Chains A and B, each alone.
Chain A
Amino acid sequence: MKKLIIVIAFTFILSGCAEQKILENISLTTLVGYELEDGGELTSTAVIRQINQDLESRVEIQSASAITSKWARTKIDLKTSKITGSGQLRVVLFGEKLAKEGLDHNLHILKMNAEVSNAIYLAIVEGDIKELLEYKYKNITDIGQHIYQLIKQNIEHHHALSSTLHEVNRDKYSLVKSYALPVIKKEGENIIITGMALFKDSKIVGQITADDTMYIMMIRERTHNGTLQLELPDSALDGLADKPFDQLAIALDTIDSKPILKLVDPSVPEFDLTIKLECRLREINADIIVDTPEKIKKVEEEINQKIESELTRIIKYSQEVNSDIFNFGERFRARVRNVIVDKEKWYELYPQMKVNIKVESQIVRDGVFQ
């Protein structure tokens, strides 16, 4: 009996002691943007979503400056009626100025906080963050959710490189210490992804356009369901139609590609990169009827050449800015034994790296009408 009383007493005393977070009593930060101010303070602008008793949600944008991001958040709390929680944080944006100074510190803060998920997306904002977030867009009701969906959708369809906190943090601590973040920008009534910003040692060093993202992916990993637009040289396919073209553009989709990398010479270092690619011919000039294997072969050869030259261009650019977003460094380290490769050495080696690219494309099908 005595035991029973103790147990019952404990269940009453101990239950409900843990912190309660009731949805109606808190507001959820879904997006935060960080930008560096002239005085060295960090301005954080938060998109806060509040849900009231009638289950209506309201979006509020607040910003505050402080030296630490936690204190900026506390300052935001001073302006809001409900305490903010960051467990629902989905996107973190960084301003250009901060990106030039280096993101190391801010990434570390995000990683330290257990409340922040590892799967949040990171991106860079071209222009003013506050302006981007505070503007009343005609077609966007919840800007936090909108930017999240925008980034997510484009990453899933290979228009942007995946930039979850985990992946960025992984690359930041990997040998090459280079990563790429999507760049977003306000353009009139829209928010658009303009391309990818390349980072080296957590500082922004270059930028590529959204058109080139697919090529980076093709070098980095297997891709499924990618899309490419190729502008073939004037005379490339002249033999296939009756009259010559001024300009010939073709589009490929459902691209499944697979990179095969071989280290030929570790001292240079020199790689052989073969990319096997299967795709569907989506758009081609109406005058070209690709019906025989020979003609398909001819088109494939042109595609190979074009993609090869594009890949070479992008690798060359990344070597110029010395940001190894393709992770050649890790691949190099994995293939050599007893050679200590560290960051400094790789920064030295990377610009002189040679990659022999070979693309083997195969047009599997070309729609329902020839």
Chain B
Amino acid sequence: MKNKLQIGTNEMFNAHLLFFIICASQVGVGVHGFQAVIYQYAKHDAWISIIISFLVAYLSVFMSLKLLELYESDDIFGINLDLFGKYIGNFINLILVMYSGLAFFAIIRNYTDVINAWVFPDLKPSFIMITLMILVLYAFTAGLRTIIGICFFSFLLGLWIPIALIIPLNYANVNFLLPVLSADLVGLLKGAYYMTFTVAGFEVIHTLYPFIKEKEKAKKYVSLGLFFTMFLYLFVMIVTLTFFSGEQLERTIWATLSLFSNIRLPFLERVELITVCFWMIIILPNLCLYAWSAFRGMKRMANISEMKFILGMFLIIFIGSFFIETRSEIYDFNNKFGYIAFVIVLFYPMVLYLIALIKKSVSKRRAGKE
């Protein structure tokens, strides 16, 4: 297969780092308030929806890894070109690049909104965006290894956050979880569908795959990463469900942050303010990885330098942010983005794998005939 990427060993990274990359890329702005949306549909069985959504995610990851294994050392952009030819392939690649750009936008817009709502009501969103973009610029221009380093530190530095959530468990009321399985299947599936925005992130594996040193170990670490985030989300969800009463949760926009606002430490009264600001470290790897994936895809289509690409992308996103400004617009955008993510992240790799399998068997048969 002709599009094979040539990557020097000095650009590669060890497979075990995939664990941190998957965790860091999945945990992002979605965690702030995913509970209320899922609760709307799955009620107090929302935690089952999380398990369902992760099962689907795992299936999708499994298929994409199989697909990438077929091509040995190529990313999803190369596979598209190989399977669909230059024009259609490039068109699909453009969609994928735009998806990465949208994901970047979704993260940065949601985060600025949280900052505005919780900490600084009159800080200009553009100011927060520029600050974040400078940070991303630094990591992006330094290359993949720096980005992976950020993933690692973001994971380690963020470990205190789930531990702090043990304190709200003091208010836990198990009755809110009972009776188990009272929601109908449609509700559970709808809840799982709305998890997409929060589960998405692991698709970076599609672009990262050629850079992994020990490719045979990739599956193990990606699965570990997925399981870790699943348990994290389950934990957060169960704390939330036992902490809030039904209608209260539906009315809470950022349930996780509201959990934090009940914690009062002797030396720190308002933990949620620290958490909100600290979240910058959590979303930084997401932003870097999406910017990087977008660049990898763009490079296939046009010969463009890193600097030009990233500045162009920032400009478009910056201008875009003026069109989506209010809370309701952001909410609307998140829902639409969730739909796009559902198709591209969970659905598309499976289809692509099937097409690749068919193509392979056809070409094999042809080779056999000759």
A residues within 8 Å of B by Cβ? 7, 10, 14, 17-19, 87-88, 114, 117-119, 164, 166-167, 169-175, 327, 330-331, 333-338
Contact A174 B120 (CB under 8 A): no
Contact B262 A170 (CB under 8 A): no
Q: How far is the CA of A192 from the CA of B271 in the complex (A)?
A: 31
Given contacts A88-B269, A118-B262, A174 and B118 within 8 Å (CB-CB): no
* Chain A residues in 8 Å Cβ range of B270: 87, 117
Q: How close is A51's CB to chain B, nearest CB, in angstroms?
A: 15
Contact A119 B264 (CB under 8 A): yes
Q: Does B91 contact A (CB under 8 A)?
A: no
Q: Of A88, A173, A338, which contacts B248 at CB under 8 A?
A: A173
* Chain A residues in 8 Å Cβ range of B264: 117, 119
Q: How far is the CA of A337 from the CA of B178 in the complex (A)?
A: 9
Contact A117 B245 (CB under 8 A): no
* Chain B residues in 8 Å Cβ range of A333: 175
Contact B134 A10 (CB under 8 A): yes
* Chain A residues in 8 Å Cβ range of B223: none
Contact A170 B269 (CB under 8 A): no
14 A–B contacts from the bound complex (CB under 8 Å): A18-B123, A19-B122, A87-B269, A114-B117, A117-B262, A117-B269, A117-B270, A119-B264, A170-B244, A174-B245, A175-B245, A330-B175, A330-B176, A334-B177
Contact B245 A17 (CB under 8 A): no
Q: Does B131 contact A (CB under 8 A)?
A: yes
* Chain A residues in 8 Å Cβ range of B175: 327, 330-331, 333-334
* Chain A residues in 8 Å Cβ range of B118: 114
* Chain B residues in 8 Å Cβ range of A19: 120, 122-123
* Chain A residues in 8 Å Cβ range of B243: 170
* Chain B residues in 8 Å Cβ range of A327: 173, 175
Q: How close is B260's CB to chain A, nearest CB, in angstroms?
A: 9
* Chain B residues in 8 Å Cβ range of A18: 120, 123
Contact B127 A14 (CB under 8 A): yes
- Closest chain B residue to A343, Cβ basis: B247
Q: How far is the CA of A171 from the CA of B175 in the complex (A)?
A: 13
Q: Does B146 contact A (CB under 8 A)?
A: no
Q: How far is the CA of A333 from the CA of B120 in the complex (A)?
A: 41
Contact B130 A173 (CB under 8 A): no
Contact B171 A166 (CB under 8 A): yes
Q: How far is the CA of A252 from the CA of B118 in the complex (A)?
A: 46
Q: Does B182 contact A (CB under 8 A)?
A: yes
Contact A117 B127 (CB under 8 A): no
Q: Of B173, B178, B247, B269, which contacts A173 at CB under 8 A?
A: B247
Q: How close is B254's CB to chain A, nearest CB, in angstroms?
A: 9
Contact A170 B248 (CB under 8 A): yes
Contact A14 B178 (CB under 8 A): no
Q: How far is the CA of A87 from the CA of B174 in the complex (A)?
A: 31
* Chain B residues in 8 Å Cβ range of A174: 245-248
Q: How far is the CA of A139 from the CA of B323 in the complex (A)?
A: 58
Band of interface residues on B? 20 to 34
* Chain A residues in 8 Å Cβ range of B178: 334-335
Contact A171 B134 (CB under 8 A): no
Q: How close is A88's CB to chain B, nearest CB, in angstroms?
A: 7
Contact B171 A337 (CB under 8 A): no
B238-271 contacts to A (CB < 8 Å):
243-248, 251, 258, 261-264, 269-270
* Chain B residues in 8 Å Cβ range of A7: 134
Extra contacts, 4 of them, besides A167-B171, A173-B251, A334-B176 (Cβ < 8 A), are A117-B269, A166-B262, A173-B248, A333-B175
Contact A173 B245 (CB under 8 A): yes
Contact B246 A173 (CB under 8 A): yes
Q: How far is the CA of A29 from the CA of B194 in the complex (A)?
A: 40
* Chain B residues in 8 Å Cβ range of A330: 173, 175-176, 245
Q: How close is B171's CB to chain A, nearest CB, in angstroms?
A: 7
* Chain B residues in 8 Å Cβ range of A167: 171
Contact B179 A14 (CB under 8 A): no
Contact A335 B122 (CB under 8 A): no
Q: How far is the CA of A175 from the CA of B178 in the complex (A)?
A: 13
Q: Of A17, A119, A331, A334, which contacts B123 at CB under 8 A?
A: A17
Q: Of A117, A336, A337, which contacts B261 at CB under 8 A?
A: A117
Among B178, B245, B248, max chain A CB count under 10 A is at B245
* Chain A residues in 8 Å Cβ range of B247: 173-174
* Chain A residues in 8 Å Cβ range of B263: 119
Q: How close is B314's CB to chain A, nearest CB, in angstroms?
A: 13
- Closest chain B residue to A11, Cβ basis: B134
Contact B248 A172 (CB under 8 A): yes
B106-150 contacts to A (CB < 8 Å):
117-118, 120, 122-123, 127, 130-131, 134
Q: How close is A232's CB to chain B, nearest CB, in angstroms?
A: 34
Q: How far is the CA of A94 from the CA of B107 in the complex (A)?
A: 41
Q: How far is the CA of A167 from the CA of B270 in the complex (A)?
A: 17
Contact A17 B127 (CB under 8 A): yes
* Chain B residues in 8 Å Cβ range of A170: 171, 243-245, 248
Closest 5 CB pairs of A and B: A334-B178, A174-B245, A173-B248, A173-B247, A334-B175
- Closest chain A residue to B177, Cβ basis: A334
Q: How close is B117's CB to chain A, nearest CB, in angstroms?
A: 6
Among A118, A172, A335, max chain B CB count under 10 A is at A118
* Chain B residues in 8 Å Cβ range of A336: 179
* Chain B residues in 8 Å Cβ range of A166: 171, 258, 262
Q: How far is the CA of A333 from the CA of B182 in the complex (A)?
A: 11
Q: How close is B168's CB to chain A, nearest CB, in angstroms?
A: 9
* Chain B residues in 8 Å Cβ range of A173: 244-248, 251
Among A10, A87, A334, A336, max chain B CB count under 10 A is at A334
Q: How close is B326's CB to chain A, nearest CB, in angstroms?
A: 16
Given contacts A88-B269, A164-B262, A337 and B251 within 8 Å (CB-CB): no
Q: How far is the CA of A175 from the CA of B175 in the complex (A)?
A: 12
* Chain A residues in 8 Å Cβ range of B261: 117-119
Contact A118 B248 (CB under 8 A): no
Among A14, A166, A175, max chain B CB count under 10 A is at A166
